[in-house]
Chain A
């Protein structure tokens, strides 16, 4: 079993839809959870960051972490064509110089 599992998609939704992206993981020591957005031929950029379990909301984006199920989610409300990108989940055991472990990324297309 890979350390972090993420469905690669592709996922295609109409504009305005609610998008749900998910990752599962096997290492219960992970405490820091992140979502990165990567446009084609660009470097990833941090979208959301969550410590331990719980929810975090930022505009149209909501990140959820359920450590008991080893499951994290990213929800995008009122999706826009500009949200079309690859979304990568990432996690780490501790803060401070610990390498991040990434999922494979989910490619999302929002159709106008």
Chain B
């Protein structure tokens, strides 16, 4: 089955640690996105990538980093510089030139302990 897989589903991080969230898609989509969802805040864009080896900052990129070495993969690293990392993180992919529908993964719940 085609889709987007995020792992892990739940992640716990100690303060001061970097953690990496995985996002893999086998839909052959060009564009991939990372959103953060907090209660009452909706989805806020962290980073996005329209093509391999290229990515752009979204609205709340500070404290996060990404890479796009392969079309299928778009991992997100939450660094120690992110002051309030506890949130639900969603990865999405979008078809290319004629695509507007975004397909989402099932999310990763990150908690700082």
Which A residues have a C-beta under 8 Å from some C-beta of B?
A: 6, 8, 32, 34, 36, 41-46, 49, 88, 90, 92, 95-100, 102-105
Contact = CB atoms under 8 A, between A and B. Distances in A.
Contact of A99 (B33, B40, B41, B105): B33
Interface of B: 4, 6, 30-31, 33, 35, 40-43, 45, 48, 50, 58, 88, 90, 92, 94, 96-107, 109
A51 to B, nearest CB: 8
A99 B90 contact: no
14 contacts: A41-B88, A41-B107, A41-B109, A43-B4, A44-B43, A44-B104, A46-B102, A95-B97, A97-B30, A97-B31, A97-B99, A98-B100, A100-B33, A104-B41
Contact of B107 (A34, A42, A97, A100): A42
| Dominant secondary structure of chain B at its interface with chain A | strand
A92 B48 contact: no
Contact of A42 (B41, B48, B58, B106): B106
A56 B35 CA distance: 27
B50 A97 contact: yes
A98 B58 CA distance: 12
List 8 A-B pairs, minimum CB-CB distance, nearest first: A43-B104, A104-B42, A102-B43, A97-B31, A97-B50, A96-B97, A95-B100, A32-B100
